[in-house]
Amino acid sequence: MANIVIVGTQWGDEGKGKIVDLLSDIADVVVRFQGGNNAGHTMVVNGEQFISHLVPSGILQKKKCYIGNGVVVDPQVLIDEMDYLSCRGIDVGPHSLKISELAHLIMPYHKMIDIAREHLKGDLKIGTTGRGIGPCYEDKVSRRGIRFVELIDPELFQDRLLSFLDEKNYYLKNYLSTAPLDPQPIIATFNRYAERLLPYVTNVSVELDQAISAGKQLLFEGAQGTHLDIDHGTYPYVTSSNTVSGNACSGSGIGPGRITGVIGIVKAYTTRVGQGPFPSELFDETGGRIQQKGAEFGATTGRKRRCGWLDMVVLNNSVRLNGLTSLTITKLDVLGGFDHINICTGYEYQGKVLTDFPSSLKVLSKCKPIYETLPGWSEDISNIRIKEDLPRNTRNYLNRIEAFTCLPIGIISVGPGRHETIVVNHPFL
Ligand code: GDP
Ligand code: IMO
Ligand code: MG
């Protein structure tokens, strides 16, 4: 029996949603363990596109889906997403979706603070998604959060809200110059959310333990990417949760001994949304071509994604931080048609070659990528389903990635559709 964690190895949007959907054909249970509706995970099935922000991407394959304690949940967004999926014929009843009673709620003031702070920072902004993610995690850590276990008890909810709303209002009014909030409409709205979501709330840790004991196979769906991790990413240009595989355990309530494999999702090139360093970023026509050919627009905010070559310093940082056991390469089709393709193999910094990702942003911002240049391929590879049928130069590119990382590539994605995929090794078979 396998229990597999999926993580993004770069700065998010690697195609995690597509791969989680694909592997959910065999997995029994799919679990989100961190992040919130800053995530936008895209699945394309029979030409129909679905984007999920909170509901795990196993929902289309009718698998049992869990939102773990490590996720921060905006209840209105969750309800809207459940309604959207239902309208499109996807069952999202309480037997198919469960939410941890320990997951924290994104409150209206979290969104207001996120947006107003970014506005105040001007050029120094992080470029957040404006969904209230950071302020919600701040309140969790400072023990001022509200969880589902409080939401479903109206008295507890009201007591908790009133115990810190004065402080929030002081901050909103005097520091952010925004209007303070009246508690009564918040209480009324959240009581309605509670009624709707009550049947979904459960002890996820206990249910996952039961599932594992019953021989079920679990798939943990990471959000964002390793270099947006609050500890290991390009701080402060990061998100507010741990995005690395270790958090699959604390964010869902299972022990590390249960995990049998960790798959790193690697986009065949690199993208980033929002601010922050990106050593292999391309500012020329090639970057523009990748952006257009890859349709690189954010699935959550619609922002243009910055594009650059594949970076082995970034990738090997992810291999180590996540304990990756295999790689999945996505969007390989997008690189077709380039005369040559570059792989960043190290950084040049003050006459030295760095192969470990620097912690200091000052150092990182002065790093110049060192490239190995490989020949490109002109063939359309989107209809290929067997690795050996790929053009020689495409296989050569993949071989270089395997050689640099010392890891096997188990899955190769050659198009957005579920079946536009070469499965070399299915982790659940
Ligand atoms: P996630 O956040 O990691 O789930 O990734 P996103 O869904 O935000 O972004 C990935 C985008 O690439 C989506 O539009 C996918 O439909 C698309 N996509 C995924 N895999 C492939 C692929 O192999 N080729 C192409 N052309 N598009 C892909
Ligand atoms: P998925 O799961 C790409 C980025 C934002 C910003 C930074 C902080 O689809 O890969 P936040 O709102 O989290 O406080 O923003 O993190 N970011 C993402 N970038 N994909 C994502 O998710 C992201 N989630 C957050 O653009 O730079
Ligand atoms: Mg995304």
Do the Cβ atoms of 25 and 58 come closer than 8 Å? no
Ligand 1 within 6 A of CB of 17: yes
* Continuous H helices in 263-310: 285-293
Query: Which residue, judged by its Cα, is nearest atom 13 of ligand 1?
Result: 42
Dist. CA 114 → ligand 1 center (Å) = 27
Dist. CA 305 → ligand 2 center (Å) = 11
Q: Write down the pLDDT at residue 41.
A: 98
Provide the whole-model pTM.
0.98
Q: What are phi and psi of 128, to 5 degrees?
A: -65, 170
Any idea which fold 104-197 has?
A: Adenylosuccinate Synthetase, subunit A; domain 2 (1.10.300)
Given 41, 53, 104, 110, the catalytic residue:
41
Q: What is the DSSP string of 133-150?
A: HHHHHHHHHTT---BHHH
Q: How far apart are CA 7 and CA 9, in angstroms?
A: 6
* Closest to 411 measured CA to CA, from 425, 390, 397: 425
- CB burial string 303-340: b at 16+ within 10 A, e below: eebbbbbbbbbbbbbbbebbbbbbbbbbbbbbbbebee
Ligand 1 within 6 A of CB of 232: no
Q: Write down the pLDDT at residue 316.
A: 98
Q: Write down the pLDDT at residue 231.
A: 98
Q: What are phi and psi of 77, to 5 degrees?
A: -65, -40
Tokens of 422: 């070469």
Q: Write down the pLDDT at residue 272.
A: 98
Dist. CA 419 → ligand 1 center (Å) = 13
Dist. CA 331 → ligand 1 center (Å) = 7
- Can the peptide bond before residue 183 be classed as cis, meaning omega within 30 degrees of 0? no
What CATH class is the domain 266-423? alpha beta
Ligand 2 within 6 A of CB of 234: no
Q: Best substitution site from 42, 59, 227 to test ligand 1's pocket, by max atoms within 8 Å of Cβ?
A: 42
For 3-103+201-261, the fitting CATH number among 1.10.3720.10, 3.40.440.10, 3.40.50.10490, 3.30.460.80 is 3.40.440.10
Ligand 1 within 6 A of CB of 41: yes
Place of tokens 């190895």: 9
Give the model confidence (pLDDT) of 303-344 as tens digits.
999 999 999 999 999 999 999 999 999 999 999 999 999 999
Q: Write down the pLDDT at residue 299.
A: 84
Dist. CA 130 → ligand 3 center (Å) = 15
Q: How far apart are CA 244 and CA 33, in angstroms?
A: 10
Query: Which residue, judged by its Cα, is nearest atom 11 of ligand 1?
Result: 15
Ligand 2 atom with least separation from CA of 225: 10
Note whether 3-103+201-261 and 104-197 share their fold.
no
Q: How many CB atoms lie within 10 A of CB 94?
A: 13
Query: Which residue, judged by its Cα, is nearest atom 12 of ligand 1?
Result: 15
Q: What torsion, rounded to 10 degrees, do the Cα atoms 172, 111, 105, 43 define? A: -170
Q: Write down the pLDDT at residue 301.
A: 87
DSSP label at residue 347: E
Ligand 2 within 6 A of CB of 181: no
Ranges in the chain, pLDDT < 50: none
Give the model confidence (pLDDT) of 219-238 as tens digits.
999 999 999 999 999 999 99
Q: Catalytic: 227?
A: no
Beta strands (DSSP E) in 376-414 are: 409-413
Distances in whole angstroms, Cα of residue 347 to Cα of each of 12, 125, 227, 322, 340? 21, 26, 16, 22, 20
Q: Best substitution site from 226, 267, 331 to test ligand 1's pocket, by max atoms within 8 Å of Cβ?
A: 331
Q: How big, in percent rounded to 5, are the helix, strand and coil portions of the chain?
A: 40, 20, 40
Ligand 1 atom with least separation from CA of 414: 23
Ligand 1 atom with least separation from CA of 20: 4
Q: Catalytic: 159?
A: no
Ligand 2 within 6 A of CB of 126: yes
Where do the structural domains in the chain lie, given as residue ranges? 3-103+201-261, 104-197, 266-423
Q: Write down the pLDDT at residue 300.
A: 85
Do the Cβ atoms of 7 and 262 come closer than 8 Å? yes
Ligand 2 within 6 A of CB of 224: yes
